[in-house]
């Protein structure tokens, strides 16, 4: 089986989710709110795929987020790789295919990335007044959005993989090997 197929399909799914999130952020901008779904794009591959495919997905998606961000270039990439590695190493202790676990994993990874990125950006300069409340509200809004769309996003990824000939049984065999 072509090993590059899985990462490419899931990268495209991640770009679709990023595009939807950017469009929603456009409409939330007048209220100074935004969504971040970085943890969601990492949850499915980190829970269900071998590490080689997981980092092949986390790296380009991190670079994609870096290219569209005002943060220091490479910040999202490093945080995506760290979050993917953490999820991948902890997945032996949790039921990987359970959707509820996927939702919790995505929300926790997303919150961790937001907090780490906020701390990294806060070190660079003075912290504006009221930023803690905005950060907390954006984190809660992102968590609620992730909780609502995780089932759809996991189904999108599963069906996209099936369309290119990667079945759940093939994923389980690959994961058992790694």
Q: How far apart are CA 141 and CA 62, in angstroms?
A: 21
> What residues does each domain of the chain span?
5-167
Most confident by average pLDDT, 49-53, 62-66, 105-109 = 105-109
Give the residue among 32, 38, 65 at the shortest CA–CA distance from 131. Answer: 32
Q: What pLDDT, in 10s, does the model give residues 17-47?
A: 999 999 999 999 999 899 999 999 999 999 9
Per-residue confidence (pLDDT) for residue 119, from 0 to 100: 84
3-state DSSP assignment of residue 34: coil
Q: What pLDDT, in 10s, does the model give residues 111-157?
A: 999 999 888 877 777 777 778 888 899 999 999 999 999 999 999 99
* Beta carbons of 29 and 134 less than 8 angstroms apart: no
CA 156 to chain centre: 14
* Beta carbons of 158 and 43 less than 8 angstroms apart: no
* Beta carbons of 107 and 2 less than 8 angstroms apart: no
CA 16 to chain centre: 12
Question: Considering the entire predicted model, what is its pTM?
Answer: 0.87
Q: Looking up tokens 């000939």, which residue turns up?
A: 165
């Amino acid at each position: 089986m072509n090993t590059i197929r899985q990462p490419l399909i899931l990268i495209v799914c991640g770009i679709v989710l990023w595009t939807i999130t950017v469009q929603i952020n456009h409409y939330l901008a007048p209220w100074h709110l935004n969504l971040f779904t970085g943890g969601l794009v990492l949850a499915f591959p980190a829970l269900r795929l071998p590490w080689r495919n997981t980092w092949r997905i986390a790296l380009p998606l991190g670079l994609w987020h870096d290219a569209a961000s005002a943060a220091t270039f490479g910040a999202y990439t490093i945080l995506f790789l760290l979050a993917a590695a953490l999820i991948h190493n902890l997945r032996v202790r949790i039921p990987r295919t359970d959707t509820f676990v996927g939702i919790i994993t995505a929300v926790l990874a997303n919150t961790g990335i937001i907090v780490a990125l906020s701390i990294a950006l806060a070190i660079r300069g003075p912290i504006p007044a009221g930023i803690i409340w905005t950060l907390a509200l954006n984190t809660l809004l992102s968590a609620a959005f992730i909780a609502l769309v995780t089932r759809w996003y996991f189904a999108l990824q599963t069906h996209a993989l099936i369309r290119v000939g990667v079945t759940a049984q093939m994923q389980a065999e690959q994961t058992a090997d790694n």
